[in-house]
Every structure is written in C-alpha cells, then in structure tokens.
Structure 1
Amino acid sequence: MAEFSQKRGRQRDEVLGSTVDFLLANARLVLGVGGAAVLGIATLAVKRLIDRATSPRDEDDAKGDTTSLEESWKELTLLKATPRLQPRTPPAALSQPASLPTPVVPSAPEGPSGTEPHPSPQPSSPAPLCLTFQEKLLAFERDHMTVPEAHVTLAKQLAGDIALELQAYLRNKFPDLPFGALVPSGPLYDGFHAGTTDRVRLLVPLVLEEGLWNLVPGVDTVARDPRCWAVRRTQLEFHPRGSSPWDRFLVGGYLSSRVLLELLRKALASSVNWPAIGSLLGCLVRPSVASEELLLDVQHERLELTIAVLLAVTGADAEDRPLLAWPLEGLAGNLWLQDLYPAESARLRALDEGDAGTRRRLLRLLCGMCHGHPALRRLDRSHLTQVVLRLGEEAADWAEAALGERFLQALESLVDSLERASLPCHFNPAVNLLGSLREEDIDDIGYALYSSLQAPEWLF
C-alpha cells in the first residue's frame, strides 16, 4: 500500500511539474521575466500546499504539519511583498530622445546551394517624437491653462451679479455703515489668470471720513510688522466718539480689522439667503466656513468659481495705499494688511507693454505649475509675482522664444530665495514674503524645486 501511494505521488508530481513548467514558459512570453518570477513563486507555493494536503500522512509528517503550513503561507505572502517590476524612465531620459531597442530577428536557416534565404520582414516603427522644453511648456499652457472666452465671460457675469446682490444686502442689513460700491477684480479681469482656479477679488470698501482717520505704519506699532498699517481715529477733541459710524469698531483708538472681519463673516455664513440668490442666478453659492478668509464657492453647470470677499479701507489717506482686513495673528490681529495686488499687476502690465514681453504669461505658467503640485501649492500668486517682477527688470530678452529660459531662471531664483529664507517685496524691501511660511514648508518647497530643476518636465 505504501509503495502504491509513493507511485501515485510521483505521478502527481510529474503532472504538476509539467503544468508549472508550461505556465512559466508561457508567462515569460506574456508577462516578461519579472511577471514570470512572481507567478512562479505563487505556483510553487500552491503546489506545495496541494502536495501537503493530498499526500498520505505518516507519523513524521503529522508532527511537522503546523510548521509546514506556516512556511507555505509565508511563501504565498511573497506575492504581496514582491513589487511589480515596471520600467522606469531615468530623469535624464526625459530631455533626451527615447532610444527604442532593436528587435531581434532570428536568422533564417541556410537553404540548398544556389538558393538565397528569404529576408525576414523588418517591423517598422515611427520615429520617436522629441520635444524641446520650450515646446513642452507651450503644450502645457495650451492643454491645461487655456480658458474658453465663454467661460471667462460667464465667470465675470456671475461675479458681477453676486456683487450686486451682496451690496444690496449690506445696505439693507447695515444702513448706517457707509459701504462703497462692491467691485470685482483680479487676474480674471486683468488678463493673466491661470485657468479657472484663480479667485475673483470682490472688494467691499469702507468709506472713511476725511480728517477723522490717519494711517500709521505697522513698524511704528507694538506689532512691528512692516506688512501692515494701523487706522487711527483722530480729531477726538472736535469730533468725539460716535461722530463716525465706524467708531463702534474701535479697539484702543484704532479701527479693528478683526472686529469688522467677524461682523462680515457672520453675515455671510448665517444671514445672507444664498439659496435664493443662487436660484436667481442659476448657480449654487455657498460660503466656505472652513477657511479663515471670506470665500464664496460658486458652482455652475459650466464652471466652478471662488470669490474672495475683501474688506478694504479707502479714503483715509491722501496716498493711494489700499488696505485689507486679513486674518492676521498675534499683535497684528487688529491691523490692516497692505494690498500689493494693484501695484503688482500695474507694474507687470507696464513692463510688458514697454517691450511686448511675456512676463504676465510667465506668471500664469508659474501659478498653474504650483497649483498642480502638492508641495508648491503653498507658494501663492504674490510670491511668484515678486520673482517675475525682479526677473522682469533684470533680463533683457522677453520674446516668446525665450519663455522656456525665463521659466527656468524663475525656478532658480525661487530656489535661491528659499535657501536664504528671504524674498523681499519689490515695493517694500523690509517685507519678507517668506516670513509667513513655516521652516518645514520652506524646506519642502525648496527640495521640490531643486529636484525639479534636474528634470523640469516633471512639474507638468
């Protein structure tokens, strides 16, 4: 009986062995060497499980059942631990033409004397397409950053309608507060938007009385913040508190941006009937309660839009210096942040018109590139604008043919600024625009940019 069992086991092993050989031979053709190796591990492990399950058990085998099965499951788990072997393109190959392997054609056997072997057909393959970095940059701009004019028109129309509805609400809700006319603005209106992800700026101006308010630089306050300004109430001996409707928002003799910001935040989140407004405009409007900024998310069947509602101080000083209520921390919480966007956009426009350059186009590409990258997303438009402004006044050639070169120079300038953790403001060198970023964020951004310089195509 034992002899019969051994004979039957040998026959079963031969059948399983032939099956394994057949599977592995065909796997090499279909899956390649890496796939065949993984399949071989699985097949052999399953074969051992079948052997142990169907073989007659003697006393010695019964003692080692637990250990043998445990070893078999460990072999099966190699499938999970073994990574898939996929071809990876080295970074240098991204900027070089891809070299295709030469197909191996088996040589035909020699025929009888006087006859020539028939030539084997040579497979024809198209020549690999090798694009320059400039061409890849333009392709990224064409495929990912071109917004149909109809979408731009629709976005402006929705922003304008929402501005009118919000203005009517503020005048009805706060009839004693002299809010100015709400004006949409931003990259979408200035012609250098980076896709539909750019926010529309909706300014809510606070009209302050002439002679009752004065601007104090942030460095002269306890906050010592050069980015900000304080709005101080003056002429109290002739116009005591209560003479201005804005006096009820004073904190320590200064107009508090924080108090006004909270007032408008509560109104947008709980008082405005956004469902009715959205139904009237044919879209869905919802305030973003998760953000510290005042944001409205607009969803239309053709596009999605984000509107940033910005409280702005106007008419308080002879100088044209717009100030925004911004969620600042610490001692600067009641101060007003200087709005650099109008000056930045005006300067870029003037530089481009002076030499028909492409500075605003470069800014659009940088914004689109950073928005799609998980680490570079922390760089906002203000950071990138300052880099383009500095480069825009230093470099001489701003023709379209030099766009790729200017793009790489902008990345190098960013890396240099991040290494020093310093990005001075073009209009106020005392302001370090990287000062609001954490050290960990600066390291992550710098590493991502430094790595991308080796193969900038990865950014797209």
Structure 2
Amino acid sequence: MAEFLQKRGKKRNDDGIGSVVDFLLANARLVLGVGGAVMLGIATLAVKRLIERATSPPDDKEEVAKVEQTLIEESWKEVNWPNSSPKLLQRANRAALSEPLPPTATEAPLHNVAEQELLRGDVKMIQLSSTLQEKLLDYYQNYTVIAESEIFQSKQLAEAICVELQDFLRLKHPEMPFATMYLSGSLVDDLQAVTADHVCFMVPLVLEPTLWNFIPGEETILSNPQFWMVRRKALEYFVRGSSPWDRFIVGGYLSSTMFIESLHKILVGSINWPVIGSMLECIIRPVVAPEELKLEVKHGQNNMSISIFTMAKMGEVVLLAVPYLKGPMDNLWCQSFYTAETQTLLDLDSRDSGIRRCCLKILKSICKDHPSLSKLTGSHLTHVILHLCDTESDWTETNLADRFQQVLEELIGYLEKGVLPCYFDSRVNLFSDLQEDEIDEMGYVLYSALGTPEALLQKCG
C-alpha cells in the first residue's frame, strides 16, 4: 500500500500533502505496528479524498473513487489475517468510506488545513500508542481489581450457602450420596474482575471404578472430543442397583440430564430458601427456568449468581453435567479444562512474576462491559493467552501493552477462523457453542479496535 501511494506522489510533485501522506504511511508500520499502520492508512484516506475531489477534473472522479476503494482493500489486506472474513472487510470498508464530505465551496481552501490535521493526527496516534501501557495499568487498578473485603464477604456467604445445600441433600436425599461440595470458579482463584458476582458449586459424584468407565468424546454419537459418556459396566456380575447412581442410567449410560432435572426440582421445590436467606442475612432465589441450576443471591447492594454443576472425575478427566445438552444428547457430559487452565496460568506467572493473569482480568473486564463481547468467556480468553505463551516468553509488567495487543490480534485470528483450539486438546474447538453471527460481531468489534485498543477501555453505559 505504501509503495502504491509513493508512486502516485511522484506523479504529483506539486502536491505537498501527497508526499507527507506517503512518508507517514511508508513509515507507519515501524512506529505503530501492523494494526496501527492499517488504521492510520484508512484514516488518511478521508483527507486524501478531499484533495482528490478538489484537484481532479470532473471526468476523473469515477477513477479516483475506484483508486480509493483499492487503497482501502489493500490496507486491510496488509494485516494478513488467515482466512480473513469478507464480512469484516466489507464492514470496515464501508465505515472508512462513509465519512461525509464538506460542501464543495470549502474544499479548495482545506489543502493546508488537511495537511496540518494529518500531521496532528499522526502525532496524536503515536502519543496514544505510547500511553497504552499507562492506561492499561490505570484501568486494571481502578476498575478491574476487586476490593479484598468484597471478595472475602462474597466467598464467605457462598460457603455458608454451600454448607446449607450440602446438609439438606444429605438429610433429605440420602439416596444421592454426593461427595463434599466445594466452591470453584474465578472468584475462588482470584481471576474475577470488576465485581465479586459469580461462583460455582461443584457437586461431585463418587463413582465405583469397577462399575463405571468413561467413553472418550470421539467414540460417542457426536464424535466430538469434548463430550464424553459414562458407561455402566459389568452388569452381568454387578446387577442394577449395585451402585446408588444406577437410578440415573438411560440406555446403559449415566444420564447428565437426569441429574440436572433432579437437582432442579430440589432447588426450586424442596428447599426453604427464604428461611436460609433470613438466617444468612441475604435473599436467595433459585432460577426457575427449566434445567437451570442457578441461585440468585442479593446481599446488601451486591448481587451474586451461583451456578451448580454435578461433576464426575476419573484420573485427570473431569466431566460436567451441563444444561444445554438436550434431547438425544442427554447422556453426554462436557469435559472441563478449568482446573488445568487456571493452574497452568498460575504456574507460568509464578515462574517469571508475569502479568498473564493481569492481562486476563483486563480482557474479562472489557468483555463484561461490552455487550457485543459478552459471549467471550474467561475460558476462551485464558486459552488464547496460553497459546500466545508458547511463542512469547516475556510477560513482565513493562510489556503489558505489547502482550495485550498481541492477545487481541490472536483472538481476532481465531474468530476469523471460527475455531479456538483447546490448549490441552487441539481437537476441541472452544468456539463450537457460539453462533456464526456472534463470532462475526465479536470479530468486527475487536478488528475495529486494533488501531486504537485504548478505546476498549472506555466503560460502557
């Protein structure tokens, strides 16, 4: 793109702005990086267009318009994303070309003004780039980090509710001998951002190794490595009823759906939550939507959501009963990589005092605050960071801005493909539960922010 603009500048030696633009674009990548150079190139097209309209004969305007479109397409191609989405490119092109033109009477005098504004804009962009580090740290300290007192109070309340639920199940439903329930999730692992508003209750099954075995996902009806099955075995020696979990068998397999339905009935219809809430000085309401194992808790001015998961574990494989698997898939269990991903992130940061978790929290805050990015979960972002760690080893605080921008670029690349490989099993696509339009929207929002990533730090609504 820079070479193309330089050739045009040579043909118009009397046009001072052409030389300025050519010089800036030719050197933009060295100063701003690939993303910044692209955004600068597109921004300057508006100024170039004013001059073209003012100096070109009427017969040449159609040709000028074609050249402008070519320039924009080439500027986006310089990013060189794999399998670039035509939708993103088209939306970006339309945005760049849709700036309204001023009245014809004012076009000619804008020659010098346009040149000055271009120079000012270039300096401003460089200044913004140089302060991104400071803005990220300020955003992290003043918006992302949660007060220790808030974390402590939320964890304490969640633990108390967990104990009450555990005691009720043991007293009223001894036919379901779950192991000790425990808290899990980002609140427990110091990875939550903005507010301490979500935690998970893990409800472990104790499965007899002689009676049950896990069927890998690629061997199930979905042929999906992320969704496993739990098969009852040795029925000829250990008849049905030998295990307390035999009541949840459907077609010879442990039904995740039956566990969800059973626990949902207990949460909604059996437990006296008003009494428990009064005792704990809060309000607890179970979510009544079918197959939603959630509690909504209000304590003071704060709200907290509690998700409840039945889990089964054998060796290193952890399987969860997840609500969205319905119909013919009611015997499928979703493999969870949460423990591995959080522990790996912690280990990497512990070795070099890195800022991987800091970067993750900032990204989670951004996604939490932007409706278009809300479908990006902490798990998605964690795996992107882990993949980047394989190629980038310097995660010291001084490189936060660089790593942050790289994570954005990597994430856009995965969104363009519609595939985010699991860090621990590349056959698993972590984007498989997202819709195409959701992926396209998220990709466009992040793509548009490449040149000015600090815009993502602006708090929404």
TM-score by length of 1: 0.70
State the alpha-carbon separation in 2 of the partners of residues 366 and 94 from structure 1: 27
- How far off its partner does 1:329 sit? 3.9
Aligned match of 1:393 in 390, 394, 405? 390
**Contact 1:205-1:313 within 8 A present in 2 as well:** yes
Partner of 2:193: 194
- How far off its partner does 1:95 sit? 9.0
**Contact 1:214-1:232 within 8 A present in 2 as well:** yes
Partner of 2:450: 453
State the alpha-carbon separation in 2 of the partners of residues 279 and 353 from structure 1: 42
State the alpha-carbon separation in 2 of the partners of residues 291 and 428 from structure 1: 32
**In 2 relative to 1, CA 172–396 (structure 1 residues): closer, same or farther, beyond 3 Å?**
same
- Is 1:183 the counterpart of 2:179? The answer is no
**In 2 relative to 1, CA 425–447 (structure 1 residues): closer, same or farther, beyond 3 Å?**
same
The C-alpha deviation readout for 1:255-303, integer Å capped at 9, x for no partner, is 0000111111111112111111110101111112348542211111153
**Secondary structure at the counterpart of residue 390 of structure 2:** helix
**Contact 1:258-1:334 within 8 A present in 2 as well:** yes
- Is 1:411 the counterpart of 2:403? The answer is no
Partner of 1:279: 278
Partner of 1:224: 223
**Contact 1:152-1:188 within 8 A present in 2 as well:** yes
Counterpart residue type for residue 320 of structure 2: L
- Is 1:375 the counterpart of 2:353? The answer is no
Partner of 2:424: 427
**Secondary structure at the counterpart of residue 317 of structure 2:** coil
Counterpart residue type for residue 323 of structure 1: L
**In 2 relative to 1, CA 295–231 (structure 1 residues): closer, same or farther, beyond 3 Å?**
same
State the alpha-carbon separation in 2 of the partners of residues 289 and 394 from structure 1: 46
After superposing on structure 2, the runs of 4+ consecutive aligned residues of structure 1 that deviate more than 6 Å are 90-95, 128-131
**In 2 relative to 1, CA 94–147 (structure 1 residues): closer, same or farther, beyond 3 Å?**
farther
Partner of 1:171: 170
**Secondary structure at the counterpart of residue 200 of structure 2:** strand
- Is 1:294 the counterpart of 2:290? The answer is no
Moved more, 327-336 or 210-219: 327-336
**Contact 1:95-1:132 within 8 A present in 2 as well:** no
- How far off its partner does 1:91 sit? 13
State the alpha-carbon separation in 2 of the partners of residues 381 and 92 from structure 1: 40
Partner of 1:354: 351
The C-alpha deviation readout for 1:358-402, integer Å capped at 9, x for no partner, is 111111111111111111101111111110111123212111111
**Structure 2 unmatched ranges of 5 or more:** 1-116
State the alpha-carbon separation in 2 of the partners of residues 198 and 169 from structure 1: 24
What aligned pairs does 1:28-177 form with structure 2 within 5 A after superposition? 97=124, 132-177=131-176
State the alpha-carbon separation in 2 of the partners of residues 363 and 140 from structure 1: 13
**In 2 relative to 1, CA 132–95 (structure 1 residues): closer, same or farther, beyond 3 Å?**
farther
**Contact 1:324-1:336 within 8 A present in 2 as well:** yes
State the alpha-carbon separation in 1 of the partners of residues 399 and 122 from structure 2: 18
Counterpart residue type for residue 325 of structure 1: A
- How far off its partner does 1:97 sit? 4.7
**Secondary structure at the counterpart of residue 305 of structure 1:** strand
Counterpart residue type for residue 423 of structure 1: L
State the alpha-carbon separation in 2 of the partners of residues 391 and 305 from structure 1: 32
Q: Whose Rg is larger?
A: 1
**Contact 1:348-1:389 within 8 A present in 2 as well:** yes
Aligned-CA RMSD value: 2.3
**In 2 relative to 1, CA 130–320 (structure 1 residues): closer, same or farther, beyond 3 Å?**
closer
Partner of 2:205: 206
**Secondary structure at the counterpart of residue 264 of structure 1:** helix
Q: Report the count of equivalent residues.
A: 339
**Structure 1 unmatched ranges of 5 or more:** 1-89, 99-127
Counterpart residue type for residue 300 of structure 1: H
**Contact 2:260-2:291 within 8 A present in 1 as well:** no
**Secondary structure at the counterpart of residue 310 of structure 2:** strand
**In 2 relative to 1, CA 293–389 (structure 1 residues): closer, same or farther, beyond 3 Å?**
farther
**Secondary structure at the counterpart of residue 394 of structure 1:** coil
Partner of 1:42: none
Moved more, 426-435 or 289-298: 289-298
Counterpart residue type for residue 453 of structure 2: P
**Contact 1:225-1:332 within 8 A present in 2 as well:** no
State the alpha-carbon separation in 2 of the partners of residues 129 and 449 from structure 1: 17
State the alpha-carbon separation in 1 of the partners of residues 232 and 329 from structure 2: 17
Partner of 1:259: 258
TM-score by length of 2: 0.70
State the alpha-carbon separation in 2 of the partners of residues 209 and 383 from structure 1: 33
Aligned match of 2:329 in 308, 323, 332? 332
Aligned-residue identity in percent: 46
**Contact 1:206-1:313 within 8 A present in 2 as well:** yes
**Contact 1:295-1:306 within 8 A present in 2 as well:** yes
